[in-house]
Amino acid sequence: MSSGLTRRSTITAGAFAAFAGVLGSRLAFADETMVMAEIKKLYGDKPMAQGKIKLDVPEIAENGLVVPVNIEVESPMTDADFVKSVHIYADGNPQPGIVSYTFTPASGKASAATRMRLAQTQNIVCVAEMSNGSLHMAKANIKVTIGGCGG
DSSP calls for 23-51: HHHHH----HHHHHHHHHHHHTT--EEE-
How far is the C-alpha of 57 from the C-alpha of 59, rounded, in Å?
Answer: 6
In a domain, 47, yes or no: yes
In a domain, 16, yes or no: no
Provide the domain count of the chain.
1
Write out the residue range of the structural domain in which residue 55 sits.
Answer: 30-144
pLDDT reported for residue 23: 46
pLDDT reported for residue 29: 85
In a domain, 72, yes or no: yes
Residues of the chain below pLDDT 50: 1-2, 19-25
**pTM of the shown model:** 0.78
In a domain, 17, yes or no: no
How far is the C-alpha of 139 from the C-alpha of 48, rounded, in Å?
Answer: 12
In a domain, 15, yes or no: no
Q: How many CA atoms lie within 13 A of 72 on its CB side?
A: 7
